Structure 1
Amino acid sequence: MFYGPRPVPAPHHRDGSTLPLALVLAGLLLSGCDMTENDGNDSPDSTAVNSQEARSGLPDAGTATTEEAVAAVKEVSSEIHRSTGVPGKASEPGPGVKQCEGKDPDTYFTVYHPWNFAPQKPDDIDVAMENLKERLNTGGWVTKQLYHDNSPHKALNLIADNDAKKVSVWIVQYSEDATPSLGINVTSGCYRVPEGETVII
């Protein structure tokens, strides 16, 4: 993934708790890592994550108003929603805007969108995740990591990047919840507002 150490909201359990933010901010795209699947049902090696967290800054996502960038991230989230391939409901609210670390907060910003997807039929949670695993290796998407975390239920995590769109997604499968769902977090690179405009947060 192409993210530096600045945390963004992580995918949420339906009870409101979050997963460790370091997994979203691993910097995989900058390091050029390939997809990995951890057969030991553990999260990525902590030394590697810490090393990647030492990277600073986000990749350049181009020039856009905050409204344009938010719309682009919303469209990515909608694409992911459609790619689940099963009926279900997405949670609110929509994307948020925050400053890019180490850059002029009036000029540079990034967009993040954490949300949940709950299939209408609980048994469709596995189908939705399988569809996303397939989709997020096509159309400019590259899966960077696929692993089971250290939570009690060993939730399946998928991290994928789209370099052309300068976005990344982190998906966590909560199969054992009372209402099975996917925790999804879409985050962008660092945008610059057009000349004469300022960031609106």
Structure 2
Amino acid sequence: MKIKLGVLAVAVPLALTTLTGCDMTDNDSDIPTAGTSTSSDAADVLEKTSSGIYDLIGVKGKTSDSRATVTECSGKDPDKYFRVLHPWSFTPASPGDLEAAMRHLKERLPEHGWKIVEYGPDASKNKNIRLTADHDVKKASVHIIQMAKDNPPMLSVDVVSGCYQVPEGQEVEHF
């Protein structure tokens, strides 16, 4: 399934700027609490986190074929610090299951360590339902948009990590 370019154009910047509810930096230093990792290892961890979120949906459907990507940490050296973003979408097998999918996420995310920091309709003409949740242990956030009036109806999901630092002597791999 292809992700609509317009959805990504709105969702990715929004996710990167609004997913700041979890404490992504250590109060005593500028080193991110997400830790030290290579870009590829951090991407693998975030994709597993995405898979865990997918498992909570609880209805049959298809996901987009997307991989995690590396983004910059605002205000930090882009050769040493990075975040990982994994955007994907979910289209239920039956359009009528979209509400159930979102309801399952709202109920099940907190049972798995996620704290919901935003839930409700947005200001768009479609009044899309948005859910943002943070996981302090995983140092990750998820932003989900229920797009019931799209054809086909779907969930747009952006999972983003905290800010990582690459190991000493390495640079950020961009992909």
Provide the TM-score with structure 1 as the length reference: 0.75
Maintained 8 Å contact 2:31/2:165: no
User: Counterparts of 1:155 and 1:14 in 2: how far apart (Å)?
Assistant: 17
Match of 2:17 in 1: 25
How many residue pairs are counted as aligned between the two chains?
Answer: 163
Match of 1:7 in 2: none
What are the residue-to-residue correspondences of 1:133-152 with 2, within 5 Å? 133-152=106-125
SS at match of 1:62: coil
* Matching residue within 46, 49, 54 for 1:76: 49
* Matching residue within 118, 121, 133 for 1:160: 133
- Uncovered stretches (5+) of structure 2, i.e. residues with no partner: 24-29
Maintained 8 Å contact 1:157/1:173: yes
Maintained 8 Å contact 2:71/2:83: yes
* Matching residue within 84, 94, 99 for 1:111: 84
User: Counterparts of 2:164 and 2:15 in 1: how far apart (Å)?
Assistant: 22
User: Counterparts of 1:150 and 1:23 in 2: how far apart (Å)?
Assistant: 16
Compared CA separation, residues 137 and 109, structure 1 to 2 (3 A): same
Question: Over aligned residue pairs, what C-alpha RMSD do you find?
Answer: 2.0
User: Counterparts of 1:152 and 1:119 in 2: how far apart (Å)?
Assistant: 22
Deviation at 1:60, TM superposition (A): 2.5
Compared CA separation, residues 14 and 112, structure 1 to 2 (3 A): closer
Provide the TM-score with structure 2 as the length reference: 0.85
SS at match of 1:133: helix
Maintained 8 Å contact 2:92/2:98: yes
* Matching residue within 55, 73, 78 for 1:100: 73
Which has the larger share of helix? 2
SS at match of 2:5: coil
Code of the residue aligned with 2:126 in structure 1: it is: H
What are the residue-to-residue correspondences of 1:4-83 with 2, within 5 Å? 15-18=4-7, 19=10, 21-22=13-14, 25-26=17-18, 27-30=20-23, 59-83=32-56
User: Counterparts of 2:34 and 2:86 in 1: how far apart (Å)?
Assistant: 16
Maintained 8 Å contact 2:3/2:64: no
- Uncovered stretches (5+) of structure 1, i.e. residues with no partner: 1-12, 31-56
Code of the residue aligned with 1:28 in structure 2: it is: G
What are the residue-to-residue correspondences of 1:120-139 with 2, within 5 Å? 120-139=93-112
Compared CA separation, residues 94 and 146, structure 1 to 2 (3 A): same
User: Counterparts of 1:195 and 1:59 in 2: how far apart (Å)?
Assistant: 15
Deviation at 1:22, TM superposition (A): 4.2
User: Counterparts of 1:163 and 1:85 in 2: how far apart (Å)?
Assistant: 24
The Cα offsets for residues 155-182 of structure 1, whole Å up to 9 and x where unpaired, read as 1000000010000000000111121100
User: Counterparts of 1:128 and 1:24 in 2: how far apart (Å)?
Assistant: 23
Code of the residue aligned with 2:6 in structure 1: it is: S
